[in-house]
Amino acid sequence: MTRVEDLKLEFFNEAFMRFFNYFFQQFMVAMTNTDPYVDTMQEEFEAIKQRKTMRKNTVKMMGDFQQVTTHLEMDVTLTNFQIIIPDRPRSKTFLALTAKEFHVSQQVQLKAGRVYSDKEKELYVSSFRMQATKCRFSVNGETILTERPFNMQIIYESLAYSPIMLKVDPKVVDQSSHVRLRFDPLQFRIR
């Protein structure tokens, strides 16, 4: 397990989802792909444009999607973690989220429910699990917005890569990424 102490991140809200997508769909793929400059989404868009996608009946008959189940082993704990969210670039006003510990791990597991026509069919899903303990929100690092510390859990799931999946119609298999957030009850201090 890797341990990092006293980490402070600053990001801008408008670009957060682009960063999130880049990290999980480009950077993490590049860690295991021999050619990190290959655009993995280009083939998918071309197949959809040319209508060379697999339909429901073909998917039902398939036994294996040849999904890649190897993944980067990740088990990282950050202590005294802080995220700074300015309201706009170069602003002196910011929202801060601090956590005593922030733990990130990854696993690949079989999950059902992604094939619309066969809800029992299991596909491999890559899952990033993030847990933060003793979190607090504050403004400008001074005014604490939460009455007491809380815990939160974030789970980010996406289908494991498969060259066959690039040819499957998105209306047949749910290929979207799923994000689940779970918080302890929050009590805000409003004055």
Express each pLDDT in 12-34 by its tens digit.
Answer: 555 555 665 666 666 666 655 55
Q: Is residue 99 a contact partner of residue 81, using CB atoms and an 8 Å limit? A: yes
pLDDT grade, residue 190 (50/70/90)? low
13: which DSSP letter? G
Share of the chain above pLDDT 90, in %: 10
Q: Is residue 175 part of a domain?
A: yes
Reported as a single tens digit per residue, the pLDDT across 53-111 is: 566 666 665 667 777 777 777 888 989 988 888 777 777 888 888 899 999 998 888 99
pLDDT of res. 92: 81
Q: Is residue 108 a contact partner of residue 128, using CB atoms and an 8 Å limit? A: no
Return the residue matching tokens 């880049």: 22
Q: Is residue 24 part of a domain?
A: yes
Tell me how many domains the chain contains.
1
Separation CA 143–CA 165 (nearest Å): 49
pLDDT of res. 174: 86
Q: Is residue 140 part of a domain?
A: yes
Q: Report which residue type is found at 50.
A: Q
Q: Which of 130, 132, 129, 135 is nearest to 97 (CA)?
A: 135
Q: Which helix (H) or strand (E) holds 178?
A: strand 178-183
pLDDT of res. 54: 60
pTM over 0.75: no
Q: Is residue 189 part of a domain?
A: no
Q: Are strands 75-86 and 2-10 parallel, antiparallel or unpaired?
A: parallel
Residue-range definition of the domain harbouring residue 64: 2-183
Strand partners, 160: none
Q: Is residue 68 part of a domain?
A: yes
Q: Is residue 190 part of a domain?
A: no
Q: Is residue 188 part of a domain?
A: no
Q: Is residue 92 part of a domain?
A: yes
Secondary structure of 144-168 as H, E, C letters? ECECCCEEEEEEEEEECCCCCHHHE
Take residue 23 and report the two structure tokens written for it. Answer: 């990290």
Separation CA 102–CA 154 (nearest Å): 11
Q: Does the pLDDT value for residue 153 go beyond 90?
A: yes
pLDDT of res. 100: 92
Q: Does the pLDDT value for residue 39 go beyond 80?
A: no
